[in-house]
Amino acid sequence: MAVQDLMPTWVGATAKQIARGVRRGDVSATQVVADHLDHIARADADLAAFRAVRGGEAITEAEKVDEQEELANLPLAGVPVAVKENTAVAGLPTWHGSAAVRSAVAEADHEVVRRLRGAGAVILGVTRMPELGLWALTDDASAVTRNPWDPRRTPGGSSGGAAAAVAAGLVPMAHGNDGLGSIRIPAACCGLVGLKPGRGVVPCQLGADDWFGLTEHGMLTSTVADAAVGFQVLAGRPQEKLVPPQRLRVGVSLRSPVRGVAPDAPNRDAVAAAGRLLAAAGHDAVPADPVYPTSLGLAGLATWFAAAAADVRAAGLDPRALQRRSRRHVALGEWAQRRGYVRESDRVAWRERSVGFFADHSVDLLLTPALAGQPPEAAGWSGRSWAANMKASIRYAPFAAPWNIAGLPAIVVPVGRRPDGLPVAVQLVGPPGSELLLLGVAGQFEMQAPWARHAPGYPRVGTGSPAVA
């Protein structure tokens, strides 16, 4: 019997379908949450997407949603949501992907969790991430998080548990955050939509200083419509609606930000496929390569190292308690800061250059590959050397980081599959304030070339079920 044959009806529905069903009285939030908790109990042992599941607490939370007299203004009424484990959820410790960094039980929700709950969402638990969110690979000594599309492969990182949970239908949407690609990389690995908002659009408030302003909160979803409502909730902009974009001029680039790392054939083909989708939607796709100076790479590395060191100092941690790979990262961060290699002026200069790119090339958006290669194996990367982790993370996922340094919005959207059956995706980058435009173009991709919302063998909503009625 296939996994989906065992699933209750509402497992596999989209967030928008669930919220509509709860608001109309077709199903209770309590039943939806119970269904998803049952699915997690059956499926997550193989995936290790969750660090902790809230079980009875989530049921109680769902009951409170059902007791509300007015649900019309709750865009996520009864929707089960997971939160990344570095973001405070009242009543749970905040793990940060590390036994050494785990903080005490949070007394209050982080602002983004408060906004999710205020929209009617029910927090089912927290999802796994690599230590301090430093790597594009998700595992630790307790478990290896696996990609539902191929359990031999990583779901990416650092929001790897969140991506695995959505791709397997454990939740219809999951919170993540993105400091150098940590939403977009897992979204690409797992065939999901992942939007990183621009700087300052969603309150961040993580660690010492949000990784020098590089980090943003967002959602991982299986549809663009869910991505849009998730963004609207986190940004506190519920009235904004997607509209089909008018004719756009989109720059297309295969140029890698990392010298010596180039996209493989499936990722190049994905960009070509996206170019055809743009043309079919009435847009113009033109060659336009950003110039990635060597100084950008050096500044990016120094900031990455120093962000880890700053978080460790702010938490009052002994670096010797960290994993070997993270200890080296922190030590390099301390060195980079002492030598003066971490400079706000460098980040400001790259942001100005990035914003100017759109005017200089007369383009509205930029299209790039999402990844350069196949997601690495799902393995015990937490026990491997710093060099091995750096090489693996940078070689397969070089395209995301520049846009964190620039503070520009960017989205990853699926466009097909690799020959090995894994999803393949592209990245769209826009100027400040273009989040809804990016979502609108992603929606045009979805309409023309719909993707599988879940990995094979995991739940899908059947024809005629209440979830799609």
Annotation says 158 is catalytic: yes
Which is the catalytic residue, given 98, 159, 182, 354? 182
b/e 174-212 (16+ beta carbons within 10 angstroms → b) = bbbbbbbbbbbbbbbbbbbbbbbbbbebbbbebbbebbb
Helix axes 324-338 and 386-396, enclosed angle (nearest 10): 80
Helices (H) then strands (E): counts for the chain:
15, 13
Annotation says 391 is catalytic: no
Annotation says 84 is catalytic: yes
The Cβ-side half-sphere exposure at 97, using a 13 Å CA radius, reads: 28
Q: What amino acid occupies position 264?
A: D
**Is 161:86 a contact under the CB 8 Å cutoff?**
no
C-alpha 163/C-alpha 252 separation (Å) is 26
Compute the residue count for the chain. 469
The contacts of residue 220 (CB under 8 Å, 6+ apart) are: 159, 162, 163, 166, 173, 174, 175, 176, 183, 186, 187, 190, 192, 193, 194
Q: What amino acid occupies position 269?
A: D
C-alpha 232/C-alpha 13 separation (Å) is 20
Which is the catalytic residue, given 16, 84, 354, 382? 84
C-alpha 467/C-alpha 469 separation (Å) is 6
C-alpha 347/C-alpha 344 separation (Å) is 5
**Is 153:136 a contact under the CB 8 Å cutoff?**
no
Q: Which residues lie across from 144 on neighbouring strands?
A: 139
Beta carbons within 10 angstroms of residue 325's beta carbon = 22
Structure tokens at 183: 């939403």
The contacts of residue 106 (CB under 8 Å, 6+ apart) are: 88, 89, 90, 91, 92, 93, 94
Which is the catalytic residue, given 98, 158, 354, 434? 158
Distances (CA, A) of 369 to 74, 207, 292: 36, 30, 15
Radius of gyration of the chain (CA): 21
**Active site members:** 84, 158, 182
